[in-house]
A and B are shown apart, each in its own frame.
Chain A
Amino acid sequence: AQRVTQPEKLLSVFKGAPVELKCNYSYSGSPELFWYVQYSRQRLQLLLRHISRESIKGFTADLNKGETSFHLKKPFAQEEDSAMYYCALLSNTGKLIFGQGTTLQVKP
């Protein structure tokens, strides 16, 4: 079964602390993975995709095929990073499958 799991519903950190939002996937073959973000009162939007190996707003995510993980990391959290984060997997039928989402709360 193709599946995405985000084990943490809520992650609360202080400003300046490192952040790691966990994502594990189940997929046979080479996965295409993404992180989406929804800031308060804004639309859900693409944050980054693993294939681009990009860093957006200081966030990076590395695909680890051995651990079937795609964790989202940032070395120093900012208050404006507070949002809902979704990990997503492109299925072999072309569907974008989302995880359950993790709310990141960055405290001052």
Chain B
Amino acid sequence: DTAVSQTPKYLVTQMGNDKSIKCEQNLGHDTMYWYKQDSKKFLKIMFSYNNKELIINETVPNRFSPKSPDKAHLNLHINSLELGDSAVYFCASSQDRTPSHTGELFFGEGSRLTVL
């Protein structure tokens, strides 16, 4: 029973294309996140949504647009892909609005995006 699932796991595409990564959680959590892990394994938050409302929006190019149709889904759409967008994108969820005292985020397996 997968808790946080992302699709696709691997995505190879050309510069300039538009692509989406989907994320779904079946934990009943209120908050979902997107993190980016770069080539140096540095893990950085991009966005978070609480009950479909955007609550964290880091300094991310506006080519990246998250969409949350309901609290169980958070998709990431990227326009005009650039070489520097190549990374592993992780979706995560937490029970509350923030990880709070538990600090527990539940992560998906990651989606490796390669831009050629």
Contacts and interface: CB of A to CB of B under 8 A. Distances in A.
| A and B associate in one complex | yes
Interface of A: 32, 34, 43-46, 49, 51, 84, 86, 88, 90, 93-98, 100-101, 103
Listed residue (A51, A95, A96, A103) with the most chain B CB atoms within 10 angstroms of its CB: A96
Interface string B37-81: 000111111001000000110000000000000000000000000
Which of A43, A45, A84 gathers the greatest number of chain B CB atoms within 10 Å?
A: A43
Interface-central residue, B40, B107, B110, by most chain A CB under 10 Å: B107
A88 B45 contact: no
Contact of A100 (B40, B55, B101, B109): B40
A93 B48 CA distance: 12
A86 B45 CA distance: 14
Given A32-B101, A90-B98, A96-B99, A43 B107 contact: yes
Interface residues of B, number: 26
What is the interface of chain A mostly: helix, strand, loop, or mixed? Answer: strand
Interface of B: 4, 35, 40-45, 48, 55-56, 90, 97-110
A105 B101 CA distance: 30
B40 A88 contact: no
Given A43-B109, A44-B90, A95 B45 contact: yes
Query: Which one of B98, B100, B110 has the highest number of Cβ atoms from chain A below 10 Å of its Cβ?
Result: B98
A96 B34 CA distance: 12
Given A100-B42, A101-B43, A46 B101 contact: no
B43 A32 contact: no
A43 B99 contact: no
Contacts of B90: 44
B81 to A, nearest CB: 24
A23 B90 CA distance: 22
A97 B42 CA distance: 10
